[in-house]
Amino acid sequence: MRRALPAVLALLLMQGCATQHPQDPLESWNRKVFSFNETLDANVLKPVAQGYAKVTPEPVRKGVSNFFGNIDDVWTSANLFLQGRFKDGAQSVIRVSVNTTLGLGGFIDMASAMQMPRFNEDIGQTLGVWGMPSGPYIVWPVLGSSTLRDTANIVGNTYFSATTLGDGPRTDNQIRLLQVVNVRAKYLSAGELLDDVALDKYSFVRDAYLQRRRNLIYNGNPPEEAQPEDEPRYDEPEDAAESAQPAASGASAPAN
């Protein structure tokens, strides 16, 4: 019996590795892109973010985050209205107005100090509220985790972001680089912790992303999934009727 135990354990491990995540039919390709992104991060983005964090005072970094967050709030407001959450949308518009005026263009988050919560909505969430299924999980080069539905955010972020304040491609790229480096600097310690605790970093990031996006669409209260285990989830439409009702209030934004 003892001799058979190692063989049984090895068989179970092999079966576990062969099991495909129901929302990740592109796993083989996604893992290659994920590995590319990890290499790019380790050799370029992380060192730049570490240098940025070292030479830039924390209050300045906080102000930069507030500035970009205030611009994101404009897009969030539009999506709240599209989701039928008019009260939350109006509150988000007030938040943008307060931070833009009293907060010196958004560098100071006066609205949060005045108990105005920040929402986190994008076109991918809006499509989910409207009933569009998420589609398969996708890892894009440089951009990272997404789904077929959330890929619409790429277009949204292109036309509704801080880069619209630039006066040409060069300025746009500088603004985009500052935003990416500033965000990466915020999560330096979190990235190191993930490296230490995750046995399979790819699976950990994928599952965390999908769970977070589902929670955002349903405002932290997703319904139970009732579809059979042998049917791919990405083919099944998500029941977003409840979250589409105006009575559903928004959740505050987690880290982006």
Mapped to the 3 state alphabet, what secondary structure does 19-85 carry?
A: CCCCCCCCHHHHHHHHHHHHHHHHHHHHHHHHHHHHHCCHHHHHHHHHHHHHHHHHHHHHHHHHCCC
* pLDDT at site 188: 86
| b/e map 205-214, b = 16+ CB within 10 Å | bbeebbeebb
To the nearest 10 degrees (0 to 180), the angle between helices 169-186 and 58-82 is: 100
Q: What is the pLDDT of residue 167?
A: 74
135 sits in the region (left: phi over 0; alpha: psi -120 to 50; else beta) called: left
Residues composing the chain: 256
Q: Around 172, how many Cα atoms within 13 Å sit in the side-chain half-sphere?
A: 10
3 state DSSP class of 101: helix
- The structure tokens listed for 190 are 């979190």
Burial status of residue 50 (CB atoms within 10 A of its CB: 0-12, 13-18, 19 or more): middle
Q: pLDDT (tens digit, 0 to 9) for every residue of the chain, 256 residues total?
A: 444 434 433 433 343 444 678 999 999 999 999 999 999 999 999 999 999 999 999 999 999 999 999 999 999 999 999 999 999 999 999 999 999 999 999 999 999 999 999 999 999 999 999 999 999 999 999 999 999 999 999 887 777 778 777 677 788 888 889 999 999 998 887 777 777 766 789 999 999 999 999 999 988 888 876 554 444 444 444 444 344 344 433 433 333 4
Per-residue pLDDT, 16? 40
The gap between the terminal CA atoms of the chain, to the nearest Å, is: 51
Residue 183 Cα distances to 102, 122, 179, 244, angstroms = 24, 18, 6, 30
CA distance 239 to 223: 8
Report pTM: 0.75
